[in-house]
Structures are given as structure tokens and as C-alpha cells.
């Protein structure tokens, strides 16, 4: 008899595993950015607080990834857990975009 959970497990592996990998990648990039750049539009306290939130999210994603791997894809992650990660990454992307805009070559801004 076929295991009725197999399709759900395969779906989780197909969707959740790459999503967790993306979170790991983007949080690592965000962390590196916040650790290496001085952001003139954020106070040092704001930048430090954002960095700490990224570090905490990285730990959460790593724990979720380990659980997912240990259970061989038998567990999912609640949307209530995923959404704050997504919102934090959106915030980090906005900060990075602001930084790039602020530091763009003035000739590029004029279309030259």
C-alpha cells in the first residue's frame, strides 16, 4: 500500500528546502552588509539592533533547517514563523537599496 504522506513530504522538500536555503543566503548577505558598512542614514544603535535581529533570525532558520533535515522533510514551518523572516529580509533589502542609492555615482544618477 502506498504511503499517503509521501506526496506531502515531497511537496515540503520541493518548496520548503529551497525556501530555507534562500533565507540562509539572504540573512548571511544582510549580516555581512550590516557588519561591514557604515550606514549614515541609521544611527549606530539602529544598525546594531537590525544586525542583532538578523543574527537571531539566522539562528531560527538554522534550527528550522536542522529540524527539517533530521526529520527528513516530515515537518513544515508555520506561516507565523516564516512571515517575520520575510519582513525582516524586506527591511534589509530596503536598507541596502537606500545605501546603494545614497552612494551611487552622481554621474550615474544624471544618466551619464
Which of residues 1 and 68 earns the better pLDDT score? 68
Our count of domains for the chain comes to 1
- Give the pTM: 0.84
Contact 19, 81 (CB under 8 A): no
Task: Evaluate whether residue 79 is within a structural domain.
Answer: yes
Q: Is the pLDDT of residue 1 over 70?
A: no
The boundaries of the domain holding residue 23 are 7-100
CA distance between the termini of the chain: 67
DSSP three-state, residue 37: coil
Q: What is the mean pLDDT of residues 33-55?
A: 97
Domain membership flag for residue 2? no
CA 90 to chain centre: 8
**Ordered alpha helix ranges (H), the chain:** 6-36, 44-70, 79-102, 106-109
Whether 71 is covered by a domain: the verdict is: yes
Q: How far is it, in rounded angstroms, from Cα 92 to Cα 34?
A: 9
pLDDT for the residue 110: 45
The rounded percent of the chain whose pLDDT value lies above 90 is 72
| 57 vs 99: CA distance, rounded Å | 22
Is 95 inside a domain boundary?
yes
Amino acid at each position: 500500500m502506498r504511503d499517503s504522506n509521501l506526496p506531502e513530504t515531497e511537496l515540503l522538500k520541493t518548496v520548503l528546502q529551497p525556501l530555507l536555503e534562500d533565507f540562509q543566503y539572504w540573512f548571511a548577505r544582510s549580516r555581512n552588509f550590516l557588519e561591514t558598512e557604515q550606514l549614515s542614514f541609521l544611527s549606530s544603535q539602529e544598525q546594531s539592533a537590525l544586525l542583532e535581529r538578523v543574527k537571531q533570525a539566522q539562528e531560527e532558520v538554522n534550527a528550522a533547517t536542522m529540524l527539517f533535515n533530521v526529520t527528513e522533510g516530515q515537518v513544515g514551518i508555520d506561516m507565523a514563523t516564516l512571515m517575520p523572516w520575510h519582513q525582516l529580509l524586506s527591511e534589509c533589502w530596503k536598507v541596502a537599496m537606500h545605501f546603494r542609492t545614497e552612494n551611487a555615482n552622481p554621474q550615474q544618477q544624471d544618466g551619464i
